Structure 1
Amino acid sequence: MTESNNIGLMNKDKLIQIFGYLNERLKENQLQLEITIYGGAIMTMVYDNRPATRDIDCVFSETNSKLLDNILDLAKFTFNLSDGWINEEVKEPLKSLLKEDKETYKIYSHLKILKPNAEQLLAMKILAARPEPAKDFVDAYLLCKDLGITTKTELLSIFNNYLPLTLVGERQINFIKYLGKDLGYDWE
């Protein structure tokens, strides 16, 4: 891969550096911030499943948005990140959640990072069910393995704990069938 193709990619080490940098800027501005991360950032940091991610899918706690925007701009410049490196679009699917099970991932002096548990993350991956180059399928496969899911019934039960089954459409059904096949099960 050429240098220009790598611009904006964040591997585990870079993500840790970015969060440390954000904590220092928050400290300078006497701000406390709670951030919940989802998607690729979790798979990169927690599961070591991806070499890198292009963005951090997240939701911020209420804070001084003008100061926070300035801090995020400083991080973008300092770490040579691409536009959209912070992605708050995850707020839309979160509106459909029946419940949210967050766990603390890391606590700094002025920054607390939360993440959904593995079951909630799996339910969200099934809901998204995006085609490649999105990594939803690979992530769902890894989460099923990690959680020991062997049946469609188990998978749909987890999904239904977090999201209404009415959201399962043709795209999700095909996703689940292929997921079962790749895991070595018949989920027809």
Structure 2
Amino acid sequence: MMDSIEMMDKKKLLDIFEYMNERLQENQLQLEITVYGGSIMTIVYDNRPATRDIDCVFSEVNQTLFNHILDMTKFAFNLSEGWINEEIKEPLKSILKEDKETYKVYSNLKIFKPSAKQLLAMKILAARPEPAKDFIDAYLLCKDLSIKTKEELLRLCEEYIPLTLIGERQQNFIRYLGKDLGYDWK
């Protein structure tokens, strides 16, 4: 089933947001959306050609009208079931603080993104194996943030997540991350 999911590149994601803004405007709705994960790596960091879904959290809005707008968007762009993924709400419960930045502002839609630091901490916490792109994303974020030592990485992480959540999987992830970056992070 996952193979049949339509991938969304940067242009398509931005077209979707533009379309959603137009529908919000027609319905006189204002919406704030915070976008996480692969969609942010695709539109902001340009390191991914595309993503399967938009990991996001929405502000409070007229849910009936908004569900209609999501259905219209799904139809207009021929998107798969699950193109909007609000499952990010669960890992966000572990986040000590949100460090959001404005990404884009339309007339009726405001898009936020987590800071690169928060995104890196979330990638370390997730530490999912391939085909998830957590490792590649964490590598690029470490480069972007000039993280050179394990101590710097852990200091950054503890701003956003309790270090007690760093288990064996995350420790191995960090060790391999350091190795790929050219450092010995035992």
TM bucket (normalised to shorter chain) is over 0.9
Match among 2, 7, 10 for residue 9 of structure 1? 7
Percentage of identical aligned residues: 76
Please report the TM-score for the alignment, with normalisation by the length of structure 2: 0.98
Aligned length: 185
**Cα displacement (A) at 1:68:** 0.8
CA RMSD of aligned residues (A): 1.1
Q: In structure 2, what is the equivalent of residue 55 of structure 1?
A: 53
Aligned partners of 1:44 and 1:50 also within 8 Å:
yes
- Which SS does the other structure have where 1:58 is aligned? strand
TM score, norm. by length of structure 1: 0.96
Task: Please name the residue that 2:69 is paired with.
Answer: 71
Secondary structure of the residue aligned to 1:50 is: coil
Residues 1:123 and 2:121 aligned together: yes
1:86 is aligned to 84
Classify the secondary structure of the residue corresponding to 2:8.
Answer: coil
Match of 1:173 in 2: 171
Residue 32, structure 1, aligned to residue 30, structure 2: yes
SS at match of 2:148: coil
The answer to whether the aligner puts 1:102 opposite 2:110 as a matched pair is: no
Please state whether the residue corresponding to 1:106 is helix, strand or coil: strand
Deviations 1:14-56 (A, max 9, x none): 0000000000000000000000000000000000000000000
**Residue 152 (structure 1) aligns with:** 150
Match of 1:114 in 2: 112
Is the contact between residue 44 and residue 51 of structure 1 (CA under 8 Å) also seen in structure 2?
A: yes
1:25 alignment partner AA: R
Secondary structure at the residue paired with 1:130? coil
- Structure 1 unmatched runs, 5+: none
Alpha-carbon distance between aligned partners in 2 of 1:168 and 1:162, rounded to the nearest angstrom: 12
Aligned to 1:114, the other structure's residue is in SS state strand
| Unmatched segments (≥5 aa) in structure 2 | none
**Matched letter for residue 123 of structure 1:** A
Distance 1:6 1:146, change over 3 A: farther
Deviations 1:70-126 (A, max 9, x none): 101111111011110000000001111111100000000000000000000000000
4+ aligned runs moved over 3 Å, structure 1: none
In structure 2, what residue type is equivalent to 1:95?
Answer: K
Looking at structure 2, the residues matched to 7 and 14 of structure 1 have their Cα atoms a distance apart, in angstroms, of 14
Residues 76, 171 of structure 1: alpha-carbon distance in 2 compared, 3 angstrom cutoff? same
